[in-house]
């Protein structure tokens, strides 16, 4: 493990940088959906603050996760780094290099760091005391697992993760899918193409009766929605339904959940990309009820917003990865209990 300190720009400089893009977007907004009318966002979300900015040759941040002490770990995928932000001392360090292009992260209740490694095609567990890393999943039925993306777990120790990529060699790799890793190490494929198009963020509800999966395919006539499934005590899923459909805008990427079961989803774009996604989904954090209603929204400053988690001493701080920025937003409702590890 590496603990290298960064020098970060002043907040004044950062806000000066952000002011121009925000003004341009407000002037050029288009395709506004009726979903955003009549929201009471201040009942759920505070203002957006900049925690730190990443300055590297390539930057695409993802996967925030918060340890017991309140430190925020997140990834810079193209540089194959896991970074660590201390919100108390306001210092940014490198926790790990050669991370296998880690994407989604999650702290287990015992304090181990779980990681989805896009580049290596693995889900790993790191003992944060010894630094030793073990592989939880890298194959299913003799074939590799495509780009593990995001993960969550239940109280029985089962880990649920999404796997997605483009143009894989299907003679060597499995299709896009959602998997479950059992405590005994057995791996089960819960969903796969064509029943799912591009799985991304994944969350277990606080009562562990629902599994939520984001579908985020950028091509025409593909799913851009949040799916919900009944989750039973064995980790099996059933009763598929669409919680909310974000097509034709950019769908959600990552998400987290509060203790009341509301989802906090990173979704939307400021600018059109080279695909069929529109600007109908606004760029920012979307709070969505268990019934699929959009309850609140907070705009984020730049493309591309990717993921979000709960942290802070009271689990009422959202940490958001948004391209070169780590952001924070105070919330009125705390995150589910498992966002704070026991140690």
pLDDT for 229-261, tens place per residue?
999 999 999 999 999 999 999 999 999 999 999
pTM for the whole thing? 0.91
Which pLDDT band, with edges at 50, 70 and 90, does 165 fall under? Answer: confident
- 8 A C-beta contact, residue 149 and residue 118: yes
Query: From its phi and psi, is residue 20 left (phi > 0), alpha (psi between -120 and 50) or beta?
Result: alpha
**Element spanning 13, H or E:** helix 11-28
Mean of the pLDDT values across residues 149-156?
98
Q: Look at residue 15 in the predicted model and tell me its pLDDT.
A: 35
Instruction: Evaluate the omega torsion of the peptide bond into residue 139 and state whether it is cis, within 30 degrees of 0.
Output: no
Which pLDDT band, with edges at 50, 70 and 90, does 8 fall under? Answer: very low
Mean of the pLDDT values across residues 173-196?
97
Q: Where are the alpha helices (DSSP H) in 29-141?
A: none
Other CB atoms within 10 Å distance of the CB of residue 198:
21
Helix (H, G, I), strand (E, B) or coil at 191: strand
Phi, psi values for residue 19, rounded to 5°: -60, -40
pLDDT tens digits along 14-73: 333 333 333 223 233 344 468 899 999 999 999 999 999 999 999 999 999 999 999 999
- The distance from CA 127 to its chain's CA centroid, rounded to whole angstroms, is 22
Q: What is the DSSP letter of 200?
A: E
Mean of the pLDDT values across residues 139-156?
97
pLDDT tens digits along 324-335: 999 999 999 999
Domains (range + CATH), the chain: 4-339 (2.120.10.30)
What are the CA-CA distances from residue 73 to residues 31, 63, 66, 172 (Å)? 35, 8, 6, 32
DSSP state string for 111-139: SPEEEEETTTTEEEEE-TTT--EEEEESE
Q: For residues 164 and 194, give the distance between their C-alpha atoms in angstroms, rounded to a whole number.
A: 12
- 8 A C-beta contact, residue 29 and residue 115: no
Residue 332 in tokens: 């009125």
Give the Cα-Cα-Cα angle 193, 78, 301 (nearest 5 degrees). Answer: 90
Which pLDDT band, with edges at 50, 70 and 90, does 167 fall under? Answer: confident
pLDDT tens digits along 264-291: 999 999 999 999 999 999 999 999 999 9
- 8 A C-beta contact, residue 208 and residue 155: yes
Residue 265 in tokens: 């989803």
Is the pLDDT assigned to residue 4 strictly greater than 50?
no
Q: Look at residue 69 in the predicted model and tell me its pLDDT.
A: 98
Average pLDDT, whole number, for the chain? 91
Is the pLDDT assigned to residue 142 strictly greater than 70?
yes
């Amino acid at each position: 493990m590496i603990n290298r300190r960064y020098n970060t720009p002043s907040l004044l400089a950062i806000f000066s940088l952000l002011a121009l893009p925000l003004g341009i977007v407000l002037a050029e907004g288009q395709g506004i959906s009726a979903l955003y009318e009549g929201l009471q966002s201040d009942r759920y979300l505070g203002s957006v603050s900049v925690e730190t900015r990443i300055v590297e040759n390539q930057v695409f941040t993802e996967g925030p996760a918060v340890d017991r002490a309140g430190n925020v770990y997140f990834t810079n995928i193209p540089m194959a780094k896991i970074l660590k932000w201390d919100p108390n001392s306001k210092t940014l360090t490198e926790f790990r290099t050669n991370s296998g292009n880690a994407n989604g992260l999650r702290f287990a209740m015992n304090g181990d760091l779980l990681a989805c490694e896009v580049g290596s095609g693995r889900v790993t567990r790191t003992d944060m005391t010894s630094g030793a890393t073990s592989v939880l999943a890298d194959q299913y039925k003799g074939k590799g697992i495509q780009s593990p993306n995001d993960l969550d777990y239940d109280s029985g120790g089962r880990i649920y993760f999404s796997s997605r990529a483009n143009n894989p060699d299907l003679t060597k790799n499995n299709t896009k899918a959602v998997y479950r890793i059992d405590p005994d190490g057995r791996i089960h494929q819960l969903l796969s193409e064509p029943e799912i198009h591009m799985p991304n963020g994944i969350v277990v509800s606080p009562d562990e009766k629902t599994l939520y999966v984001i579908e985020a395919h950028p091509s025409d006539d593909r799913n851009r929605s949040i799916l919900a499934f009944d989750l039973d005590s064995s980790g099996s899923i059933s009763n598929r339904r669409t919680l909310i459909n974000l097509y034709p805008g950019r769908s959600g990427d990552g998400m987290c959940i509060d203790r009341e079961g509301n989802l906090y989803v990173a979704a939307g774009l400021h600018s059109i990309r080279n695909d069929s996604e529109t600007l109908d989904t606004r760029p920012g954090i979307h709070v969505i009820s268990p019934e699929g209603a959009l309850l609140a929204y907070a705009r984020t400053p730049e493309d591309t917003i990717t993921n979000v988690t709960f942290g802070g001493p009271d689990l009422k701080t959202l940490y958001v990865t948004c391209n070169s920025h780590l952001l924070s937003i105070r919330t009125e409702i705390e995150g589910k209990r498992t966002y704070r590890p026991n140690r």
